[in-house]
Amino acid sequence: MDRLAEAVQRRGNPVCVGLDPRYEQLPAVLRTSEHAAPVDRAEGYRAFCQGIVDVVAPLVPVVKPQVAFFEQLGPPGMQALAEVVQYAAARGLLVILDAKRNDIGSTASAYADAWLGTGRRSTFAGDALTVSPYLGADSLEPFVQTAEERDAGVFILVKTSNPGGGWLQDLVAEGQAVFHHVGKMVDSLAEQSAGACGYGYVGAVVGATHPQQLAELRQAMPHTWFLVPGYGSQGGTATDVAAAFDDRGFGAVVNNSRGIIFAHDRPDYRDKFASGQWQDAVRAATLAMIDDLRAGTPAGKLMPR
Amino acid sequence: MDRLAEAVQRRGNPVCVGLDPRYEQLPAVLRTSEHAAPVDRAEGYRAFCQGIVDVVAPLVPVVKPQVAFFEQLGPPGMQALAEVVQYAAARGLLVILDAKRNDIGSTASAYADAWLGTGRRSTFAGDALTVSPYLGADSLEPFVQTAEERDAGVFILVKTSNPGGGWLQDLVAEGQAVFHHVGKMVDSLAEQSAGACGYGYVGAVVGATHPQQLAELRQAMPHTWFLVPGYGSQGGTATDVAAAFDDRGFGAVVNNSRGIIFAHDRPDYRDKFASGQWQDAVRAATLAMIDDLRAGTPAGKLMPR
């Protein structure tokens, strides 16, 4: 995570912009018709996401494409995704691919090979990938190994932001919740690869919608960088995410998807920006989030620009 | 799962052939060079998997492409996968897409839309999809809903076949293992959609490598069709999988990947089939597995042809 720490330091904020294109919500100027073919939708997604990258590349350290929406369009969608990743990387952004993959043995290695590795090392050339832990520690090893070989990262789901996430994750076994068991294992994987910044190649997904558990996990997982979803549309606030950071302002990136990329359609922005000015809305929402995180977190927790 | 029950009855066996192409293991006649570009590898995967389909379509009810290996090749791999699925469906096979997807809300719906739905309803046109449960019951609902709308199926990971699967799945909470909690929830989802065969749209992945737990789960999950990996190369035997079936021989399909598709390279087959006869090796291995399941399971558990 040294590269991530450097990027956060360079931009002076820990904002991750989630690229979750949904065709019906694209700015009208980027849509053709509601019956558009997958190849035309994919072209809309490419133009939309590259347009967002143009705006946010000078402002934030990292973007997080949600693979599901590209996959929904089939092969043309995957082609658009690959182009978005390349475009973002060329403009200095790190790219976390949110695919929540998981499998065992050589199958896990195939997923890791597909997604991890900048330059020409993997097809989709991501800097990091999200991974689900249900299959156990041996299923995570191929992802961690590939990440180490390629100076990339793996973010393992620990405590997710959805209302029903606790159904399995909060079950108490041997005196602690399942998500604490997973967190402990993830931190031991992270510790084995800790770099100059103190964090390893292995990170954790911990939702902003559970601030108490977020604080507990920060204490319990000192070697693990957090990817924090749930800020904004899902209800998480700057105060909620403050506990995710260490005293240097490192240790976490906070994701916002809808609140930024569809800012042109937000009730509080809709009247200020015309459809053709959707990129101005993205810029305003990104700057507002950066300010909000700075104001809502204790002094020193977020580095000044 | 009525369509699956009908297919099993029509073929008189519950064999699922796993399509897990790995370039280095393809028959020599289908490879160009070890430096082949993704588009050439994808062409090899397409020819290989369609060649397997030609052999097994008259013999077995279902095939299971492993999405990771196609994804590893990027967009051309996904195009090859779509063509393999179409080809298999046109020859009367049901197709379970092994992608182990999971996410929340509209993102889960996007995955379900991508993978589920024969005909022109989804991009990849599968009959069923494997799904991981770590994100909780609310993350599974969009998959189940799409499956019901499209007469398709969802197989949720309950007890996996890998050695380390127990690390999380066997944790005991509230008096029972995590996998039993998941199994109970899966069976209640299955019960809500039970069709003529007594099984619902929701199935479970339960490994052959844990015969004791397989028997327990069969008892505890009467409405749930099982997809059983781990037979053959991973060590599961016909005796191990017998407990997965109900008294009519329904209730489970048993997957074999490497032992069938790479039969030309099995130590016990290598001397019998030349590289150009790899399809004969696939046929022999498929018939041997059908015979093995028949011989190894109690009378009545597998219907006669």
In this prediction, residue A121 carries a pLDDT of 85
pLDDT of residue B302: 66
Q: What is the average pLDDT score of chain B?
A: 94
CA distances to A2, A5, A92, A93 from A196, rounded to whole Å, are: 6, 9, 21, 20
**pLDDT for residue A18:** 98
Rounded to an integer, the average pLDDT of A136-153 is: 95
Quote the pLDDT of residue A298.
Answer: 66
**A182 contacts in B (CB within 8 Å)?**
168
Per-residue pLDDT band at A169 (split at 50, 70, 90): very high
**Span B265-269, average pLDDT:** 93
Per the CB < 8 Å rule, is A75 touching B71?
no
> What per-residue confidence (pLDDT) applies to A118?
87
Q: Which residues of A touch B106 (CB under 8 A)?
A: 22
pLDDT in tens, A198-212: 899 999 999 999 999
What confidence score (pLDDT) does residue A304 get?
52
Contacts of B168 in chain A (CB under 8 A): 133-136, 178, 181-182
Evaluate if residue B284 carries a pLDDT over 80. yes
Residue A126 CA, chain-centre distance (Å), reads 11
Decide if A114 and B72 are in contact by the 8 Å CB cutoff.
yes
Instruction: Give the pLDDT of residue B233.
Output: 82
Q: Contact A78/B73, CB-based, under 8 Å?
A: no
When mean pLDDT is compared across A122-126, A144-148, A300-304, B213-217, the lowest value belongs to A300-304
- For the cut 60, the answer to whether the pLDDT of residue A137 exceeds it is yes
Q: CB–CB of A123 and B69 under 8 A?
A: no
The torsion region of residue A234 among left (phi > 0), alpha (psi -120 to 50) and beta comes to alpha
Among the partner-chain residues B79, B134, B161, the one whose CB lies closest to the CB of A134 is: B134
Q: Provide, rounded to the nearest whole percent, the portion of chain A with pLDDT above 90.
A: 87
Is pLDDT above 50 for A305? no
- Average pLDDT of the residues in B4-13: 94
Closest CA to A1 of A145, A203, A150: A203
Radius of gyration of chain A (CA): 18
> In this model, does residue B300 exceed pLDDT 60?
no
A107's tokens: 């199958």
The three-point CA angle B233-B235-B241 to 5° equals 110
Q: Which residue of B71, B114, B178 is in closest CB contact with A114? A: B71
Task: Give the gap in angstroms from C-alpha A169 to the nearest C-alpha of chain B.
Answer: 7
Q: Answer for the pair A300, A251: CB distance below 8 angstroms, yes or no.
A: no
**Calpha distance B127→B254 (Å, rounded):** 16
pLDDT of B103 over the 60 cut: yes
Nearest to B135 among A72, A162, A174 (CB): A162
Q: Give mean pLDDT, residues B11-27.
A: 96
For residue B106, pLDDT beyond 70: yes
What secondary structure letter does DSSP report for A164? G
ipTM for the complex?
Answer: 0.96
Torsion sign (Cα): B111, B112, B113, B117:
positive
At B23 the pLDDT is 96
Residue of A nearest to B71 (CA): A114
Residue-wise DSSP of B234-298: TSB-HHHHGGGS-TTS-SEEEEESHHHHTGGGSTTTTTTS-GGGHHHHHHHHHHHHHHHHHHHS-
Residues of A acting as catalytic residues:
100
Closest approach of chain B CAs to the CA of A110, in angstroms? 6
Q: Which of A162, A182, A186, A210 to mutate to test the interface with B (most CBs of B within 10 A)?
A: A162
List the catalytic residue out of B100, B159, B272, B301: B100
Instruction: Give CA separation, B154 vs A47, A131, B34, in Å.
Output: 33, 20, 36
> How confident is the model at residue B305, as a pLDDT?
46
Q: Is B205 helix (H, G, I), strand (E, B) or coil?
A: strand
What is the amino acid identity at position B192? Q
- What is the layout of strands, in order, in the sheet containing B176-177? A176-177, A172-173, B172-173, B176-177
Q: What amino acid occupies position B164?
A: G
Question: Helix, strand, or coil here: A256?
Answer: strand
Q: Is A37 left (phi over 0), alpha (psi -120 to 50) or beta?
A: beta
Whether residues B66 and A107 touch (CB distance < 8 A) is answered with: yes
Give chain B's end-to-end CA distance (angstroms, integer). 20
Residue pLDDT, tens place only, A63-87 = 999 999 999 999 999 999 999 999 9
pTM of the model: 0.96
Overall average pLDDT of the A239-265 stretch: 93
Residue A22 has pLDDT above 80, yes or no: yes
pLDDT digit string, tens, across residues B146-175 = 999 999 999 999 999 999 999 999 999 999
The C-alpha of A61 sits at a distance from chain B's nearest C-alpha, in angstroms, of 24
Measured between beta carbons, the chain B residues lying within 8 angstroms of A110 are 68-69, 71-72
Output phi, psi for A206, to 5 deg: -135, 120
Judge whether residue A107 has pLDDT over 90: yes
User: How far is the C-alpha of A229 from the C-alpha of A244, rounded, in Å?
Assistant: 11
Q: Which residue has the tokens 């606790």?
A: A166
pLDDT at position B149 = 94
Distance from CA of B118 to the nearest CA of A (A): 14
> Which DSSP helix (H) or strand (E) runs through A65?
strand A62-65
